[in-house]
Structure 1
Amino acid sequence: MRSLLRILSTTRELWPYYLGIVASSLLMSVTALVTPFLIGRATDEVVALAGGHGGTVRTLVLLAVGLLVAELLNTVLTNIGGYLGDTMTARLRQILSVRYFAKLLGLPQRYFDDELSGTIIGRLSRSIAEVTNFLKSMSNTFFTMLVTTVAVLVISGLYSWPLAVMLAVLFPAYMWLTARTSTTWQRLEGAKNDLVDVANGRFSEVIGQIRVVKSFVRERSELALFDDRYGGTIGLTRDQARHWHSMDTARRAVLNLAFLGIYLVLFLQTAHGAFSIGVMVLLLQLMGMARTPVTMMSFIVDSGQRAVAGSQSYFEVLDQVPEARRTLPAGRPATAPLDLHAFAFRHVDFGYRPGRPVLRDVTFHADPGERIALVGESGGGKSTLVNLLLGLYPPDAGLVTLGGRDITAMPVDEVRRDVGVVFQDPSLFSGTIRENIAYGRAEATDAEVTEAARRANADRFVERFPEGYAALIGERGVKLSGGQKQRVAVARALLKDAPVLVLDEATSSLDTKSERLVQEGLEQLMADRTTLIIAHRLSTISTVDRIVTLRDGAVDEIGTPAELAVSGGIYAELLALQASNDLTDRARLSAYGIDAGIDPGDPDAQPDVTAGGIGRG
């Protein structure tokens, strides 16, 4: 219940809705309570009129009109309360969803390393749906039930204290029996939610990579895995349903026995002349009104339990420690003391898991305008260095500096504004070409977007779309080729205009023609910038200023291509492997993420390390 109270406490701006719902509930209860009195009075009038002991038709007509007015008012108030409840629920869904999304956007990268995107999305959908459904049902019925219950107890006490005592004992007894089911029910519901979250996470992952699934003929195995996880919820549901319904049977049995006693008291007192027939009818209707809130309590508790179980995972996310946004220490200049184009790694250690280091004592720097290439085996820490430079992870030891400042002491937004990245996977979003190019500068003008596309060699294919820059490209840019997507990514980085540029195997997945077009755009992009290059071909780094080689997560050598070509280190080894036609040597080359630089579809391609590429040529 603390989870629900926490939700209510964090949505205090909804108090006008709460107040309106309470007011309409109070008035609804009043109109509902008027009905038994009118029916009771009408019963006495009918008995008197039929027995010739008084009563008039006019009185009966007035009572019938009174019933109509009461029912109409109740109908209007019910719908006013329903409208407020529905609107409040929609507003609550917005608040909780936006708060959840905002929290996710502020979490460190480590959180997402351990979570499937489908699980995160499914958790939001389930939690928000269950919480809002509960609050909607509670807001539309709880206050009415509460007021009705109190009023029935008071009115019953005025007519017959034994009836009031039995009702007063019945309500808490029923609530106690209902609460007894909560602990077991919530534990089983939590286990079911875990299975569903995993299943939905895998579902999202499979749909997002459906081409891979189909190409490896994994449809049946993925379906079987999905079915097994949902099938696991069946046994839990059996246990849950058995527990809930056995307890519900006990509750209803207690309720039936209690109302047996209530009806016996009512009938016997009426038979002994304590009540008139009209009063008996009045009290019978009041007892019926009292029974409805009691039986409805099971539904509200059931909905509340689902909301508590769902909100637990919601608040687990909200309780995560956010990414440190960081501000500069007092007295520290807001602008960099050195040129922002410079960056450095100084004695950096890092591991994604404790005790499993990826980087060890890494030290190198880039002066303004330099082009630095990283070379090393796949999994050797090259992309990890990019992650550290972007501030996605803090180093375990050492310093990463940008413009002479420790990036862990800089606002992360400032760090990431100053570093542009072109990844191997361009990671486009659904929407238009223009929106994707302007993703880093949403305020950019059409002219600026067009100029960035021209410099990235993207304008050629964009102009072939009937809609031009307004063309929709589908999820993750599915309607574009690999080369087209990469040119959009280059245009996006050009428009961002960050002083430091990272090229993380930016052309590795392209054919020769597309690669040449993208490289032309990259040359435009690298102009007047400091560039860190992770390349998949030796030809693309042959003309950089310096090469940093990594071996087992540590810096092995630093030098110019000419120096390292004769040093006997990793770079010299790669040059020798590339010159070899031996299959074993080619396999060894692939272990470094390097190909021979030959495209089988290009008869002019040669494995020449002096060919122009990403560099100074």
Structure 2
Amino acid sequence: MRSLVRILSTTKELWPSYLGIVLSSVLMSVTSLVTPFLIGRATDEVVALAGGRGGTTRTIVLIALALLAAELLNTVLTNVGGYLGDTMTARLRQILSTRYFEKLLGLPQRYFDNELSGTIIGRLSRSIAEVTNFLKSFSNNFFTMLITTVAVLVISAFYAWPLAVLLAVMFPAYMWLTARTSSNWQRLEGEKNEQVDIANGRFSEVIGQIRVVKSFVRERAELAAFDQRYGRTIALTRQQARHWHGMDTARRAVLNVAFLGIYLVIFLQTAHGVFTVGVMVLLIQLMNMARQPVMMMSFIIDSGQRAIAGSVSYFEVMDETVEERATVGSVATAVDAGPEGPQAPARTIDDHVIAFHEVDFAYEPGRPVLRDVTFHADAGERIALVGESGGGKSTLVNLLLGLYPPDAGRVTLQGQETASLPLDVLRRRVGVVFQDPSLFSGTIRENIAYGRPDATDEEVREAARRANADRFIERFPEGYEALIGERGVKLSGGQKQRVAVARAMLKDAPVLVLDEATSSLDTKSERLVQEGLEELMTARTTLIIAHRLSTISSVDRIVTLRDGRVDEIGTPEQLATSGGIYAELLTLQASNTLADRARLKAFGIDAGGADTGDPDGADLDSGGVHGQGDGADLARRS
């Protein structure tokens, strides 16, 4: 219950809506309580008039009109409360969802390494839906239920104290039995939620990589695993249902016995002339009004238990520790401080643009990836990182971007330690083109301008031209407004990569990182992308994780890594004759044996120079646009 109180306490802006709902609930209860009195009075008037013992038609009509007014007022108040409840629920969903998303954006990369994206999304949908549904139900019904119950107790005591005693015994007994139901139910609900989250996480992962699933004929296996997860929830639901409905039987039995006593008191008192027929009708209606809140309590408690179980998952995420320099919380500051956000610390440590000083790092304790790595890059230099796959090249990029902190040593950018720079400042200074272009659904223009959404159309077009992307973009009927699908599925590999290069160009960061940016492209695509990259690298300090020796040979210096340590640093000419890793690669390149070719691939080096991946991209600028399965060929339509 503390988690629900926590939600209420952190959504103070909704208190006007809460109070409006409470007020409408109070007035609804009053109008509901007036109705039995009017019907009871009308009953006595009708009986008196029919028996010739008094009563008038005029009085009966006036009572009927008063009953109509009470019912109409109750109808209006019910819908006012419903409107406030609906709008409050929507606002609450917005607040909780936005805060959840904000929290996720501020969490360190390690968190996402251990979670499936589908699980994260499923947890949000389930948790917030359950919490908002409960709060809506609670706000619309609880105060009406409470006021009605208290009023019925007071009125019952006025007419016959045994009625009040029976009600006073029934309510606590019902509440106690309900509380006995809750703890076990919540535990089982938590286990069910875990199974559903895992299943939904896998579901999202499979849909995101459906081509792989289909190509390996794993549809049945994935479906069976998915079905098995939900199958486990059935066994848990059976346990829940047995416990819940067993306890509900006991609760309803208590209710039935109590109401037997209540009705006996009312009927016998009426039969002995203590109550008039009108009072009997009044009391029966009041008792039925008392029964409804008690029955409604089961629904609210059931909804509340789901909300509590859901809010546990929500707050598990909200209680995670964010990055110390997370950028999300500093949006307003960044806007006020100009294009580079908050002012960075003025103190500089060295004169290098990029520098790694005795850096150690491990993703998992006891399994180091980098050991005592030291090297630097000066203004305008192109530095190639060479080493076996898994040797730490991409990890260096992750550390430079501040996605992980080094375990020891320090990383500096433009002379300032990255650990002391606000993350938004740090990442604005670095442009990255990854092997996976990582485009978003939407238009080509939106993807190019992702880092600078305020860029003009001319700036976007100029970036596309410099990236060799303008020709294929202009062949689309919609041009820069062409929709490219999830992850750019409607574009070929070469086209996606050129959009990614244009995106980095428009960002215009002083430091550039190329993380195997052309390794998955065919020869023609690679040539076109490489031309864009050459334009992008002009006047920038660049770190290159390359997959061709021809690219490595054109850099200013090479840093080779062996077992997570720097092995050699030097120009291509120097390292070609040093006997180290680069010299070994040159020797392997000249060999035609399968073993030597395999050794080259262990370094992520393309051994042949022929097409590697993207077999569909033979001539991208002559109209080929390749997607999954029957993905639309947008360019060809032009």
Task: Say whether the 8 Å CA contact 1:549–1:571 is kept in structure 2.
Answer: yes
**Residue type of the alignment partner of 1:534:** I
Task: Say whether the 8 Å CA contact 2:107–2:326 is kept in structure 1.
Answer: no
Structure 1 match to 2:427? 416
Structure 2 match to 1:132? 132
Match of 2:555 among 529, 544, 558: 544
Deviation (angstroms), 1:326: 7.2
State how 1:30-429 maps to structure 2 within 5 Å. 30-325=30-325, 334-335=345-346, 337=348, 342-429=353-440
Once residues 199 and 611 of structure 2 are traced to their aligned partners in structure 1, the CA distance between those partners, rounded to angstroms, is 42
Task: Say whether the 8 Å CA contact 2:189–2:309 is kept in structure 1.
Answer: yes
Once residues 8 and 417 of structure 1 are traced to their aligned partners in structure 2, the CA distance between those partners, rounded to angstroms, is 37
Once residues 35 and 71 of structure 2 are traced to their aligned partners in structure 1, the CA distance between those partners, rounded to angstroms, is 8
Match of 2:490 among 479, 483, 499: 479
Deviation (angstroms), 1:336: 6.5
Once residues 326 and 49 of structure 1 are traced to their aligned partners in structure 2, the CA distance between those partners, rounded to angstroms, is 79
Task: Say whether the 8 Å CA contact 1:358–1:380 is kept in structure 2.
Answer: yes
Deviation (angstroms), 1:457: 0.6
Once residues 492 and 80 of structure 1 are traced to their aligned partners in structure 2, the CA distance between those partners, rounded to angstroms, is 50
Once residues 348 and 247 of structure 2 are traced to their aligned partners in structure 1, the CA distance between those partners, rounded to angstroms, is 71
Task: Say whether the 8 Å CA contact 2:28–2:144 is kept in structure 1.
Answer: yes
Post-superposition CA distance 1:173-208 (Å, at most 9, x none): 211110111110000000000000000000000000
Task: Say whether the 8 Å CA contact 1:336–1:403 is kept in structure 2.
Answer: no
**Residue type of the alignment partner of 1:322:** V
Deviation (angstroms), 1:597: 4.2
Task: Say whether the 8 Å CA contact 2:344–2:422 is kept in structure 1.
Answer: no
* 4+ long deviations beyond 3 Å: 332-341
Q: How many percent of aligned residue pairs carry the same amino acid?
A: 82
Instruction: Please give the secondary structure, in 2, of the residue aligned with 1:449.
Output: helix
Gaps spanning 5+ residues in structure 1: where? 603-617
Instruction: Please give the secondary structure, in 2, of the residue aligned with 1:119.
Output: helix
Residues 1:466 and 2:504 aligned together = no
Instruction: Please give the secondary structure, in 1, of the residue aligned with 2:115.
Output: coil
C-alpha distance 69-326 of structure 1, shift in aligned 2 (>3 A): closer
Deviation (angstroms), 1:395: 0.3
Instruction: Please give the secondary structure, in 2, of the residue aligned with 1:503.
Output: strand
Task: Say whether the 8 Å CA contact 1:21–1:81 is kept in structure 2.
Answer: yes
**Residue type of the alignment partner of 2:245:** H
Task: Say whether the 8 Å CA contact 2:575–2:583 is kept in structure 1.
Answer: yes
* TM-score after normalising by structure 1: 0.95
Deviation (angstroms), 1:435: 0.6
Task: Say whether the 8 Å CA contact 2:360–2:408 is kept in structure 1.
Answer: yes
Structure 2 match to 1:569? 580
**Residue type of the alignment partner of 2:505:** L
Once residues 463 and 435 of structure 2 are traced to their aligned partners in structure 1, the CA distance between those partners, rounded to angstroms, is 19
Once residues 438 and 26 of structure 1 are traced to their aligned partners in structure 2, the CA distance between those partners, rounded to angstroms, is 54
Residues 1:2 and 2:2 aligned together = yes
C-alpha distance 2-296 of structure 1, shift in aligned 2 (>3 A): same
Match of 1:504 among 503, 509, 515: 515
- Alpha-carbon RMSD across the aligned residues, in angstroms, is 1.6
Deviation (angstroms), 1:268: 2.0
Match of 1:556 among 554, 558, 567: 567
Deviation (angstroms), 1:273: 2.2
**Residue type of the alignment partner of 1:324:** E
Instruction: Please give the secondary structure, in 2, of the residue aligned with 1:439.
Output: coil
Gaps spanning 5+ residues in structure 2: where? 331-342, 614-638
Deviation (angstroms), 1:71: 1.0
Post-superposition CA distance 1:89-142 (Å, at most 9, x none): 000000000010010001100000000000000000000100111111111111
Post-superposition CA distance 1:483-524 (Å, at most 9, x none): 111001001001101111000000001111111111111011
Count of residues paired in the alignment: 599
Instruction: Please give the secondary structure, in 1, of the residue aligned with 2:363.
Output: coil
Structure 2 match to 1:615? none
Task: Say whether the 8 Å CA contact 2:521–2:612 is kept in structure 1.
Answer: no
Post-superposition CA distance 1:569-592 (Å, at most 9, x none): 111111111111100111111111
Deviation (angstroms), 1:325: 1.1
Deviation (angstroms), 1:337: 3.9
**Residue type of the alignment partner of 2:53:** H
**Residue type of the alignment partner of 2:124:** L
Task: Say whether the 8 Å CA contact 1:92–1:132 is kept in structure 2.
Answer: yes
Match of 2:526 among 506, 512, 515: 515
C-alpha distance 601-30 of structure 1, shift in aligned 2 (>3 A): closer
Deviation (angstroms), 1:355: 1.1
Once residues 299 and 112 of structure 2 are traced to their aligned partners in structure 1, the CA distance between those partners, rounded to angstroms, is 37
Once residues 89 and 45 of structure 1 are traced to their aligned partners in structure 2, the CA distance between those partners, rounded to angstroms, is 45
Once residues 277 and 512 of structure 1 are traced to their aligned partners in structure 2, the CA distance between those partners, rounded to angstroms, is 96
